[in-house]
């Protein structure tokens, strides 16, 4: 753990320190309202720019503290219950088989599988038309950039445009019929009961669209990439996918960091965090802490994982974790059953996008391993 002078933030890299801070009552999740980095200070002076991200994002329950966080979370929690997620398995299996049906001996894991799978699933859960699904891949990178680089005018403009387009789609869907029990149906009922207002409906839906798509599609791509890079395809074929998913989550999680703002003095690992300080908990680095994991930089699909921080920790633990696990499990299971061997057809293609890295293409083929493209 250290103080970064350039950004003016605390960087937390240890697993034990991260776990303690993520459940500490004096660390607020409402960082878009409470804190900024030095990058947000205007060039003309030291005053920090107010009102981070956007009004819609600041309403996301993941960026609020209790009781507002708990209240909003309770409304949509049934959508991600163990029973509801388990009931999605047949739909997921059919969807993945459909996506892989046209794949012969080669496919692009991102464009042929991960992106259409995750976008169709979250639209299905929310009750949005499948025709909306392709737009999620256009919205997600711009919203992700808004969360890390909103001090750049172009990032703010692109992120706000994506959120406006999501709001338009949501408003139109709410005016029509939707499947009973779907996410939008649940949120509309909550609004009618006076539990939330129209702004909260839009905020919660935009959060579920973004988080439900972006993190899961990215993780599926990363999981396949890590497996191939470690030459572990055969190990994946003999392991239960559910067990392999936990190690893959630890090894390279989608969400690399979460932010918190101190509301009172917090002492941890010999350091004193002052009120108002911004704290970046580096989940991906903490999941490689050698004090907690043996040979942490090695992918071991046989590793028994008791816990990791891929989905955070504490009261803000990712609500959609069971769904993300199931999506990855079904995708990996389908791939390992379809292909005895799998090797990279080309090096992975990534694209920098205003402070985030987008995994665009991951072309894989099934053939003799000696013909593999090296990473």
Residues forming a β-bridge with 107: 364
Which is nearest to 149 in space by CA: 36, 288, 30?
36
C-beta separation of 250 from 293 below 8 A: yes
333, two tokens: 């299971």
Sign of CA dihedral 329, 330, 335, 338: positive
Q: How many other CB atoms are found less than 10 A from the CB of residue 219?
A: 26
Cβ atoms of 207 and 214 closer than 8 Å:
no
Q: Is the pLDDT of residue 39 over 90?
A: no
User: Which residue do the tokens 């680089």 mark?
Assistant: 149
CA 20/CA 121 separation, integer angstroms: 33
Specify the pairing of strand 349-353 against strand 356-361: antiparallel
User: How many residues does this entry show for the chain?
Assistant: 375
Which residues share a beta bridge with 343? 365
Are 281 and 260 contacting, i.e. CB atoms less than 8 angstroms apart? yes
Query: E strands along the chain, which residues?
Result: 2-4, 9-12, 27-28, 106-108, 258-262, 266-268, 271-273, 278-281, 343-344, 349-353, 356-361, 363-365
Backbone phi, psi, residue 371, to 5°: -95, 10
Which pLDDT tens digit goes with each residue over 51-107? Answer: 678 999 999 999 999 999 999 999 999 999 999 999 999 999 999 999 999 888 899
The contacts of residue 106 (CB under 8 Å, 6+ apart) are: 345, 363, 364, 365, 366
Average pLDDT over residues 326-338: 95
What residues does each domain of the chain span? 2-371
In the numeric block, which tokens belong to residue 284?
A: 């991906």
Residues 196 and 72: beta-carbon distance below 8 Å: yes
Query: Token pair 């030095």 is at which residue?
Result: 38
Residue corresponding to tokens 């046209």: 102
Q: Residue 322: how many CB atoms within 10 A of its CB?
A: 17
What lies within 8 Å, CB to CB, of 322 at 6+ separation is 80, 82, 85
Q: What is the pLDDT of residue 42?
A: 57
Q: Are 23 and 55 in contact (CB under 8 A)?
A: no
Domain 2-371 CATH class label: mainly alpha
Residue 370 has pLDDT above 50, yes or no: no
| Tens digit of each residue's pLDDT (9 = 90 or more) over 144-177 | 999 999 989 999 999 999 999 999 999 999 999 9
Q: How far apart are CA 367 and CA 345, in angstroms?
A: 10
- The three-class DSSP label of residue 266 is strand
Contact 222, 254 (CB under 8 A): yes
Torsion of CA 27, 31, 35, 39, to 10 degrees: 130
What's the pLDDT at 37? 78
Using CA atoms, how far residue 326 sits from 15, 85, 210, 333, 348, in Å, is 25, 8, 18, 10, 24
Is the per-residue pLDDT at 343 higher than 60?
yes
Please provide the distance, in angstroms rounded to a whole number, between the alpha carbons at the two ends of the chain: 32
pLDDT > 70: what percent of the chain? Answer: 95
Q: Kindly tell me if the per-residue pLDDT of 372 is higher than 60.
A: no
pLDDT band for 43, please (50, 70, 90 cuts).
very low
Does residue 369 surpass a pLDDT of 50? no
Q: What is the pLDDT of residue 41?
A: 67
Give the predicted TM-score (pTM) of the model.
0.92
Which stretches of 230-320 are DSSP H helices? 233-238, 241-251, 283-286
């Amino acid at each position: 753990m250290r103080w970064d002078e350039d950004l003016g933030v605390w960087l937390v890299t240890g697993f034990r320190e991260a776990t303690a801070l993520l459940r500490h009552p004096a660390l607020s999740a409402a960082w878009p309202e409470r804190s900024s980095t030095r990058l947000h200070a205007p060039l003309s002076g030291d005053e920090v720019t107010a009102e981070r991200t956007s009004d819609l994002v600041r309403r996301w329950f993941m960026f609020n503290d209790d009781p507002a966080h708990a209240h909003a979370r309770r409304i949509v929690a049934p959508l991600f219950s163990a029973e509801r997620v388990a009931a999605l398995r047949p739909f997921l299996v059919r969807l993945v088989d459909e996506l892989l049906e046209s794949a012969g001996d080669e496919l692009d894991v991102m464009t042929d599988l991960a992106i259409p799978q995750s976008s169709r699933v979250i639209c299905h859960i929310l009750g949005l038309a499948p025709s909306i699904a392709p737009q999620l891949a256009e919205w997600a990178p711009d919203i992700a950039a808004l969360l890390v680089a909103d001090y750049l005018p172009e990032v703010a403009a692109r992120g706000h445009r994506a959120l406006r387009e999501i709001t338009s789609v949501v408003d139109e869907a709410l005016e029509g019929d939707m499947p009973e029990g779907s996410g939008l149906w649940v949120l509309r009922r909550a609004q009618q009961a006076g539990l939330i207002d129209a702004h909260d409906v839009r905020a919660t839906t935009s959060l579920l669209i973004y988080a439900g798509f972006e993190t899961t599609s990215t993780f599926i791509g990363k999981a396949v990439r890590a497996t191939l890079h470690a030459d572990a395809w055969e190990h994946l074929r003999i392991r239960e996918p559910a067990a392999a998913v936990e190690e893959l989550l630890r090894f390279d999680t989608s969400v690399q960091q979460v932010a918190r703002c101190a509301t009172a003095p917090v002492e941890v690992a010999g350091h004193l965090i002052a009120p108002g300080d911004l704290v970046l908990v580096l989940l991906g680095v903490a999941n490689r802490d050698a004090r907690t994991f043996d040979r942490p930089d090695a992918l071991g699909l046989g590793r028994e994982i008791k816990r990791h921080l891929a989905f955070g920790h504490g009261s803000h633990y990712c609500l959609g974790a069971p769904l993300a696990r199931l999506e990855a499990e079904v995708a990996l299971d389908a791939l390992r059953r379809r292909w005895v061997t799998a090797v990279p057809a080309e090096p992975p293609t990534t694209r920098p996008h205003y402070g985030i890295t987008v995994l665009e293409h991951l072309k894989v083929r099934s053939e003799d391993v000696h013909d593999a493209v090296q990473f």
